[in-house]
Structure 1
Amino acid sequence: MSIPGLLFSVLPSFFYRQFFVTPPTPTKDCTGQTYIVTGANTGLGKEAARHYVRLNAEKVIIACRSIEKGEAAARDIEQSTGRKGVVEVWQLDLSSYENVKQFAERAKGLRRLDSIVENAGISTSSFKTMEGNESTVTVNVISTFLLALLILPKLQESAQRFNITPTLCIVSSEVHFFTSFPERKAPSVLDQLNDEKQARMTDRYNVSKMLEVLACRQIAAEHPVKQLKVTLNFVNPGFCHSELMREMTNLPIRVMKKILCRTTEVGSRTLVHAGYGGPETHGKYMSDCKITTCATLVEGKGGLEMQKKVWQELAAKLNQIEPGITKTLDA
């Protein structure tokens, strides 16, 4: 389907959700629990962390690149919730695989881990490389799943020790509906995305979210909760005020954001809900705090083969970065 055709098919439901659907305020008690939220020094991640603190979590870890900005966010959360000594700020830079490894190693020292909400990501129209891949792919996809698999053993340990089913939540987006993902037809998707001459950067963020969706679905298909001991889901927060679109400052975009965007706090409710989602959400796409269907390209003809191909490539890349890392899925 062409891009105009895709937009025509999904925009009515998009506008309906933005104008007429408000995700409910989270109310689940999180007493005694520990949460990690990445990209939580600002925007959706910060508001999600605030909710977890408000809901009585024992520990909430703000994972972000800037310790200074993270500490400012922590002070703001403490002031608004009246709870001190709950928030910790840990440095995490998804542009560095070594830094991701260091973060996961530090997480091993936690008493327990109930959930990690992987919210950090970038959206850029400029082609540049990080760790040998285009930056959007490195940050939003490769490092995101590197962290997921590195931290999985801690989630599994907590599952066994505390008789719980922890949650691994990837913050994706409904923009995976907006791409026709032509790179899927290439012999190697990642190689195609790494070709600057053929890069379609106006669609790159959408494609990165598509890759997240496909990888999550395939991992969950191959590893049910009973075997994995952890719930893996992925969530759409909707179109919200955040710093993600800070490069897009033209007048039409500013007007569209003013009219359409949910507040950051309202959008964060979806992250919180998915972050403590139960086994019924395993491998599912969450939107407006409900399980819903993915794009036709994902769930229609050829979708299964596409997600297998994407995951196979991504798994091979992850095993290059950390040999044997995908074996954690079989533990």
Structure 2
Amino acid sequence: MSSPNELFWAARHPPADPTTTTPFHNKTILVTGANSGLGHDAATKYASLGANPLTLAVRTPEKGAAAAKGAIVAATGCSPDIFIIETFDLASFSSVQAFAERVIARVPALHVVQARGGIAIPGFGRSEDGYEMAFQVNVLANALLGMLLLLPKLQETSATTAVAGRFVPHLSIVNSIAYVEVKLEWIAADETLIERINDEKRFDMNSQYCMTNMGRNHPLVLRLFMVVFYFIFGRSAELGSRTLVSATDLGVESLGRFWTKDEFLP
């Protein structure tokens, strides 16, 4: 974990905003959690950089329509025709599986998956599948979606000649302080699945602490504390999304390395 000095410096020295449209022009991009926070800002950047089609995956159609035809179109001037709106619920394995099947059937290729969906809840609850809610949503469902259901489509895209130049398909799965209560389980699931698929083509990135609405259900005192904390040490979701997007433009030189502040750490 970064020291307070490093966090303070990073908050005041944000990464560059990706502006080169070539890597993502007419690329098929999927963003989950696209209605708010890092997911929404990453989707906005992909739209401005020419992604087409851009799938926005949210929990309800209303959220998807508002994100696509409202904020993103207004911010970027992109055509509303580039969007595919999909709904699914990470709290339901059957919903995740059905969603992945629809995506695979609908798009001929898949170049980037930004799995940004997640929750941060103060209390205990179980999903319809019987797991603790945060554990299922933040760990199990994201692992199922990204590393088991959609990864073969990404690998298929990578193996075809349709990917021009140096572009390499990417799978990016959220991992942040908001999920601290399930972080150890997530790391274990991540490592186990990587071993299972026998794939070492991986690198890590760090978008730093980003202010989103993830903690909206926490007690008032904690929310007030986080406002002060993020003011001193944090970044906006827009600044954090710059790292998410730039990381998905990295090539094979990134494998086994750590991407942060627009550079690889030694």
Q: Tell me which interval the TM-score lies in, with the shorter structure as reference length.
A: 0.7 to 0.9
Aligned to 1:261: 234
Aligned to 1:323: none
Structure 2 CA distance for aligned equivalents of residues 16 and 39 of structure 1: 28
Q: 1:61 to 1:143 in 2, by over 3 A?
A: same
Cα-Cα RMSD: 2.4
Residue 128 of structure 1 aligns to a residue whose secondary structure is: coil
Structure 1 CA distance for aligned equivalents of residues 5 and 187 of structure 2: 22
1:1-331 mapped onto 2 (5 Å cutoff): 10-19=3-12, 21-28=13-20, 29=22, 30-75=24-69, 76-84=71-79, 85-109=81-105, 110-130=107-127, 131-148=129-146, 149-162=148-161, 164=163, 165-173=168-176, 175=177, 205-217=179-191, 219-220=193-194, 223-224=198-199, 231-248=201-218, 249-250=220-221, 251-282=224-255, 284-292=257-265
Greater Rg over alpha carbons, structure:
1
Structure 2 CA distance for aligned equivalents of residues 281 and 220 of structure 1: 17
Structure 2 CA distance for aligned equivalents of residues 41 and 61 of structure 1: 12
Q: 1:22 to 1:210 in 2, by over 3 A?
A: farther
Higher relative contact order, structure no. (Cα contacts within 8 Å, ≥ 6 residues apart): 2
Does 98-107 or 239-248 show the bigger shift? Answer: 239-248
Q: Deviations over 1:9-53 (max 9, x none)?
A: 83332333223x311111342112011111011111111011111
Measured after TM superposition, the shift of residue 233 of structure 1 is 4.1
Aligned to 1:296: none
Residues 119 and 214 of structure 2 are in contact (CA less than 8 Å); yes or no, is this contact kept in structure 1? Answer: yes
List gaps (5 residues or longer) in structure 1: 1-6, 176-203, 226-230, 294-331
Does 161-170 or 34-43 show the bigger shift? Answer: 161-170
Identity of matched residues, % = 33
Q: Which amino acid aligns with 2:15?
A: P
Structure 2 CA distance for aligned equivalents of residues 210 and 163 of structure 1: 38
Measured after TM superposition, the shift of residue 292 of structure 1 is 4.4
Q: Which amino acid aligns with 1:252?
A: F
Residue 209 of structure 2 aligns to a residue whose secondary structure is: coil
Residue 108 of structure 2 aligns to a residue whose secondary structure is: coil
Residue 88 of structure 1 aligns to a residue whose secondary structure is: strand
Residues 37 and 116 of structure 1 are in contact (CA less than 8 Å); yes or no, is this contact kept in structure 2? Answer: yes
List gaps (5 residues or longer) in structure 2: none
Structure 2 CA distance for aligned equivalents of residues 210 and 292 of structure 1: 23
Runs of 4+ in 1 over 6 A off after TM superposition: none
Structure 1 CA distance for aligned equivalents of residues 112 and 237 of structure 2: 21
The aligned length equals 251
